[in-house]
Amino acid sequence: MSGAYVFRRFRAAAGRFIGAREGNIAVIFALSAIPIISFVGAAIDYTRANAARSSMQAALDSTALMLSKDLTSGTINSSQITAKATAYFNALYNNKDALDVSVTATYTPPSGSTAATIKLDGSGKIVTDFMRVAGFPNMNFNTSSTTTWGNVRMRVAMVLDVTGSMAQDGKMDAMKPAAKALVDQLSGMAATAGDIYISIVPFAKDVMMGSSYKNATWIDWTDWDNSNGTNTCTGWNSWGSCNKWTWTPASHNTWTGCFTDRTQDYDTKNTAPTTANTATLFPASQYSYCDTNGAQIKPIMPLSYDWAALKARIDSLVPTGNTNQGIGLAWGWMTLTQSDPFNAPAKDANYVYKDAIVLLSDGLNTQNRWYNNANQIDARQRILCDNAKAAGITIYSIQVNTGGDPTSAVLQYCASNTSSFYLVTSASQTASVFNQIGTQLSKLRVSK
């Protein structure tokens, strides 16, 4: 067989191989499967690493808070921070994928107006299942948490529904110990007097301040004077009929101490009242549930750190009247405001302040000064909540819904975020919810 013949046969076979199409799909699939499988595997490995990192973040946040509390109370000193951080973190972090986990703590003492801080840095790795094929046998992760205290102070308004329906299903009986436990939880965060202030704002359709305020310049008596008094005949005609009546407002000494909603649009603001603009004043009311019997709405208690007195006020609450969440929220905001009627303590420029409102209600809005329609009342309340949140107020809202009412859209809207709204379907859940809010308030001190 000649060399030329062999060459011709080889050339023909090579041409047929180059032109062949029958096996190309299998070859292409085999080649493309490698990156596809690699991408899917990388996503799985990344998800495991991200879960390990998220768990580490939560453990670091809690560890930082506990360390700052221990250091402030004198339970530990600065030389013990690292050891205590490791102990707390190891007790909290239990992700099974994480390896070579380490935590370091850096303490910066306070200096002048600079706050004390503890910074925790955590790191670890996971062994990859898929990425090792691409030459990455491990995937590292890290995160940190910083707690700041000493120059961070907190003021919290507890706005509590005391309407008649709170007497049902054990709601009032559950709210009282839960609210008192929150007072205890918050007071435990105070290292010195004034670090934490709390106000108590019971509300129904109206709110109570007490008749001792009858001479305050920030009260609008217009509607009260027009509704409370006597109409006396001061002129008679020849037929013995009265042709002139004179209205005499009752003495303000007979006022029972309640207030209704402010004139619009001040019902949605915390504008300081001034006699130069009577629309900014707070209208007195003679609400039937503000009398002096046992079912009386209890007076608002301004910001205080007298923990025993705050808890005593909570204990005194009784259920009565109709629901107007907006007025409770508005007066709760006013208790945090440095103007009449409460003149909250001035804020020291050397401190950072966090203001919050905890709003609990068991029902939907039914009545206020302006409306008997829930949709209209809710619309005003949404504006109020927008204004308060824009002013830096953090709002936590709780709906105690033991009767199968619709979930309150306005309470959800008012909450600062989705995790700040709580739906309670059994009175027994109230304590847990207040405890969760206390934990969230503690975390307002954590920066990441």
N-terminal to C-terminal alpha carbon distance within the chain:
83
The pLDDT of residue 76 = 86
What the block records as the tokens of 439 is: 């934990």
In percent, the amount of the chain with pLDDT more than 90 equals 62
The pLDDT of residue 288 = 84
265: preceding bond cis by omega (within 30 degrees): yes
The boundaries of every CATH 3.40.50.410 domain in the chain are 153-233+246-447
User: Nearest to residue 393, comparing CAs of 336, 310, 447, 437?
Assistant: 336
pLDDT digits (tens, 9 = 90+) for 15-44: 554 555 555 555 554 545 555 555 555 678
What the block records as the tokens of 223 is: 């509607």
Instruction: Tell me, letter by letter, the H, E, C secondary structure of the chain.
Output: CCHHHHHHHHHHHHHHHHHCCCCHHHHHHHHHHHHHHHHHHHHHHHHHHHHHHHHHHHHHHHHHHHHHHHHHHCCCCHHHHHHHHHHHHHHHCCCCCCEEEEEEEEEECCECCECEEEEEEEEEEEECCCHHHHCCCEEEEEEEEEEEECCEEEEEEEEEECCHHHHHHHHHHHHHHHHHHHHHHHHCCCCCCCCEEEEEEEECCCEECCHHHCCCCCEECHHHHHHCEEEEEEEECCCCCEEEEEEEECCHHHCCCEECCCCCCHHHCCCCCECCEHHHCEEEECCHHHCCCCCCCCECEEEECCHHHHHHHHHCCCCCCCCCHHHHHHHHHHHCCCCCCCCCCCCCCCCEEEEEEEEEECCCCCCCCCCCCHHHHHHHHHHHHHHHHHCCCEEEEEEECCCCCCCCHHHHHHCCCHHHEEEECCHHHHHHHHHHHHHHHHHCCEEC
pLDDT digits (tens, 9 = 90+) for 100-153: 999 999 998 876 567 788 999 999 999 987 777 777 788 899 999 988 776 788
> Looking at the predicted structure, is the pLDDT value of residue 93 above 90?
yes
* Mean pLDDT along residues 364-378: 90
* Mean pLDDT along residues 411-419: 95
Quick one: pLDDT band at residue 10, thresholds 50, 70, 90? very low
> Looking at the predicted structure, is the pLDDT value of residue 254 above 80?
yes
The fold of 153-233+246-447 is Rossmann fold (3.40.50)
The pLDDT of residue 132 = 73
The pLDDT of residue 374 = 87
CA distance linking residue 338 with residue 23, whole number of Å:
82
pLDDT digits (tens, 9 = 90+) for 198-216: 999 999 999 999 999 999 9
CA distance linking residue 148 with residue 195, whole number of Å:
13
The pLDDT of residue 2 = 46
The pLDDT of residue 294 = 54
CA distance linking residue 198 with residue 216, whole number of Å:
23
Q: Are 143 and 122 in contact (CB under 8 A)?
A: yes
CA distance linking residue 189 with residue 195, whole number of Å:
8
341: preceding bond cis by omega (within 30 degrees): yes
pLDDT digits (tens, 9 = 90+) for 279-326: 999 999 998 888 765 568 999 999 999 999 999 999 999 998 899 999
| b/e sequence 343-373, b meaning 16+ C-beta within 10 Å | ebeeeeeeebeebbbbbbbbbbbbbbbebee
User: Nearest to residue 403, comparing CAs of 358, 361, 359?
Assistant: 361
Cβ neighbours of 412 (radius 10 Å): 14
The pLDDT of residue 193 = 86
Quick one: pLDDT band at residue 265, thresholds 50, 70, 90? very high
Q: Fill in the amino acid letter for 118.
A: I
> Looking at the predicted structure, is the pLDDT value of residue 412 above 50?
yes
Question: The whole model's pTM is what?
Answer: 0.74
The pLDDT of residue 447 = 54
Q: How confident is the prediction for the chain on average, in pLDDT?
A: 87
Q: Is 160 left (phi over 0), alpha (psi -120 to 50) or beta?
A: beta
Quick one: pLDDT band at residue 345, thresholds 50, 70, 90? very high
